[in-house]
Amino acid sequence: MRILGIDPGLVTTGFGVIEADGPRLRYIASGTIKTREAAIGDLPGRIRIIFEGVREVVATWQPQAAALEIVFVNVNPQSTLLLGQARGAALAALVSADLTVTEYTAVQMKKAVVGHGQARKEQIQAMVARLLQLPGEPGKDAADALGLAIAHAHAGGTFAAAAASTTLTRRQHAQYKGGRIY
């Protein structure tokens, strides 16, 4: 299975493509989508670059599944909102290409790649290079994206089996009359 990992960012969005054949992983491609050609205050321009860049990566490498990082809450709420919009652009590009998207937190990805959730960027780069037998370490954003694809290669089958064997039912959240769907 060919898996695309996306590490969203408003300035730099990382991508990584791998092939998984059981436990064997093979590197296909990785890189970044940079939005610096848009003006600093041009949020719609940056969102468009991310959307079109992800669509181009999908068209070029033809993945069968995608793994996307879940946004964490920063100390600065404005940064969190902007990052969420970049993530939304990447997510929209993936689903518009009819890809199944699985979301992972940074901690889940770090545990899958390095073995603990507090791993530093340098550790992720080194382990990704080692797991994929790369001649050198990928950049930080590309390494995170490759790490997401690796996490999906390791956990995606388990998630699919659990989803197939369990019926999800709607639950109501105690604070909302209509409830949220989980």
Bridge-based pairing of strands 100-104 and 65-69 is parallel
Q: Which of these is catalytic: 69, 122, 137, 144?
A: 69
Residue from 7, 37, 52, 56 carrying the catalytic annotation: 7
Of the candidates 98, 103, 141, 144, the residue annotated as catalytic is 141
Rounded to whole angstroms, how far apart are CA atoms 156 and 4?
12
Instruction: Enumerate the β-bridge partners of residue 20.
Output: 25
The verdict on whether 141 is a catalytic residue reads yes
Report the distance separating Cα 139 and Cα 143, nearest Å.
6
**Is residue 69 annotated as part of the catalytic site, yes or no?**
yes
Cα–Cα distance, 124 to 71 (Å, whole number): 18
Binding-site members for Mg(2+) are: 7, 69, 141
DSSP assignment string, 117-180: TT--HHHHHHHHHHHTT-SSPPPHHHHHHHHHHHHHHHHHHHHHHHHHH--------TT-SS--
Annotated binding residues: 7, 69, 141
Catalytic positions are 7, 69, 141
